Amino acid sequence: MAILAGMWFQQMHPVWQQALSGQEALLNRLEQSLSQLPNLAPRPQLVMAAFAADPSKVRVVIVGQDPYPTPGVAVGRSFAVSGLPVPASLRNMFKELASELAIEPTDVTTALDLHGWQAQGVLLLNRHLTTLEGQAGAHFKEGWQAFTDAAIAHLLAANPLTVLVLWGNQAQQLKKTLAQAISDAGERAMLIEGVHPSPLSAHRGFLGSKPFGTINAALQSVGQEPINWLL
């Protein structure tokens, strides 16, 4: 599906547009280069879905790697999907959540598109916003990291109490690229690192790490409401 030039920038919430105006040329270049690819994941109209909400409401940022490469699965929010079947990474997240809450995985009622998390101020952000169907990591060198790093830097500057969750090597590179922003946040910076929930690494430290309770504990430590992960 073709989209109009500059549409990705326009699809962002107005507050995001203002905050990332300096990245507009980069985003337009990425759109021009990638949006017409017939095998782009997610679909062009979903690429900026994570930026549709007001950034001033963001309390938690969960950073992933890049979209699911399976056709029709990615929805523009990290780890979220359009429907069944549930990819292994999200399945492991729900398994860990069920373990933390002492319930059965089948009792996790969270919508697969994770819109309930976004509505509570959780930004689900891949470091690279696109890939190609059947090719994980296809766009690591396209320049997305400069755009998403700028977005996270803005959030940390606007609210140093933002909980920043880095799962996997691609996300954890942010410690270096955003070292100044994290330093500026000072002791108020809340950084949570962990293993990626993918099937290749989940059993090496993600499962059993209790990330959801850790996030809520960080929020409550500064007087904020915890996230209801079952919404």
- The neighbouring-strand residues paired with 194 are 167
First to last CA, the chain: 32
Catalytic annotation, pick one of 54, 66, 149, 184: 66
66 is catalytic: yes
Single out the residue of 57, 60, 51, 56 nearest to residue 192, CA to CA: 60
Copy the structure tokens of residue 182. Answer: 């994290």
Give one DSSP letter per residue of 56-104, joined into a string: GG--EEEEESS---STTTB-SSTT-BSSSSPPHHHHHHHHHHHHHHTS-
Rounded to an integer, what distance in angstroms lies between the CA atom of residue 192 and that of residue 53?
Answer: 23
* Residues marked as catalytic: 66
